[in-house]
Structure 1
Amino acid sequence: MSTIHWTENRTRQSARWHSENAAPLPRRIVVADDRMNADDAHRQACEGTALLWQGDFHNARQLLQAMGRRLDRKPAKSGLSPSENFHLHRRSSRHRARVLGKLLVLLEDDYRLTLRRAPDVRQACLEAYGPSGGPMAVSLRELLGVIGAHQWRLKGVAVPALGTRIHPHYGVFAPVRGEYVDLVARTSLPRAIRRNPASSTAFDLGTGTGVLAAVLAHRGVKRVVATDISPRALACARENAHRLALTGRIEVSGPGLFPEGRADLIVCNPPWLPARPAGSIEQGVYDPDSTMLRSFLDGLSAHLLPGGEGWLVLSDLAEHLGLRTRQQLLDAIQAARLRVVDKIDTKPRHPRSMDTTDALHTARRAETTSLWRLTP
Structure 2
Amino acid sequence: MPCFLYLLGLAVFAQGTSEFMLSGLLPGIAADLGVSLSAAGALTSAFAVGMIVGAPLMALLSLRWPRRRALLAFLIAFLLVHILGAVTTSYGVLLATRVVAALANAGFLAVALATATAAVAPDAKGRATSVLLGGTTMACVAGVPAGAFLGGLWGWRSAFWAVALVSVPAVVAIVRSVPAGQDRASAQERGMAAARRTELRALRSPRLLMTLLLGALVNGATFCAFTYLAPLVTGVAGIAPGWVPAVLALFGLGSFAGVTLGGRMADTRPVRLLVTGGAALLLGWALLALTAGSPAAAVVLVLVQGALSFAVGSTLISQALYAATGAPTLAGGFATAALNVGAAIGPWLGGVALAAGLGYRAPVWVSALLVACALLAGAVAGLSPRPRNRACVPAPPRRP
Give TM-score scaled by structure 2 length: 0.26
Which structure has more relative contact order (CA 8 Å, sep 6+)? It is 2
Give TM-score scaled by structure 1 length: 0.27
Greater Rg by CA = 1
Instruction: Return the structure number with greater strand share.
Output: 1
